[in-house]
Chains A and B, each alone.
Chain A
Amino acid sequence: MIALIVDAASWGFLVTGSFLVVVGALGLVRMPDFYTRLHPAGITDTLGTDLILTGLMLQAGFTLVTVKLFLIGAFLFFTSPTSTHAIANAALVAGLKPRYATIPPRPEGAGAGKKDAR
């Protein structure tokens, strides 16, 4: 009985995680410019990753494998947002402007659309 519940929970985690990963990847392709693409890539991937890893952990039970899966999750939890931050920072510093800014861009930033087209 307990085994069945754990199994079902694990499958639930795996399916939800897979769904989120695919949605995130879809967003990565469909979003209009670099800064909007950061959202599906960064946020959904982190949650999807953790859900899939949790699902795998439930399948593995109390073994060394679970410890390793937990460590993978923990390290990705730190490194994934850090690299997203680093890329966003690099893009901003290099002068890439958001395509759909709500604040009207300054005159020198008027060519934002043109820049994105390259």
Chain B
Amino acid sequence: MFTATAAALLAAMILALIRLYAGPSLYDRVLAANSFGTKTVLLIGVMGFLTGRPDFLDIALLYALLNFIGTIAVLKFFRYRTLGDALEQKNAPEKREAGR
């Protein structure tokens, strides 16, 4: 049963990676990375049960606590340092205005 769950999680991770590689915008990548992180937390948990030593959940706990920092950092460096310039796209003055 854990095997089936692990297989499902791996499949979901592949799908999230496809979105991560494909983009197209940076936000899609951040979203995919974030969702990939949640799936990794689950996979680490299930892997503990698969090997019969489920007492190593501290790593999953760590990711559950800290994984949103990357997202906050992205939001912050977008909005407060870079004058709201839309990423992956230069010369977009109207968006720069929206950012302020």
Tell me the minimal C-beta distance from B57 to chain A in angstroms.
4
Query: Within the complex, which residue of B18, B38, B72, B98 is in contact with A95, where a contact is CB–CB below 8 Å?
Result: B98
Complex A-B: 15 CB contacts under 8 Å: A18-B8, A21-B8, A21-B12, A24-B35, A41-B31, A56-B46, A68-B57, A83-B71, A87-B74, A94-B78, A94-B95, A94-B99, A95-B94, A95-B99, A118-B24
Mark B7-22 against chain A: 1 for CB-CB distance below 8 A, else 0: 0110111011011000
The 9 closest A-B pairs by CB, nearest first: A18-B8, A95-B95, A25-B15, A25-B12, A83-B71, A75-B64, A79-B68, A91-B27, A68-B57
- Residues 84-100 of chain B: 1 if any A CB is under 8 Å from the residue's CB, otherwise 0? 11111100101100110
Docked pose: A89 CA to B8 CA in angstroms = 30
- Number of B residues near A (Cβ < 8 Å) is 56
- B-contacting residues of A (Cβ < 8 Å)? 10-11, 14-15, 17-19, 21-22, 24-26, 28-29, 34, 37-38, 41, 45, 49, 52-53, 55-56, 59-60, 64-65, 68-69, 71-72, 75-76, 79-80, 82-84, 86-87, 89-91, 93-96, 108, 115-118
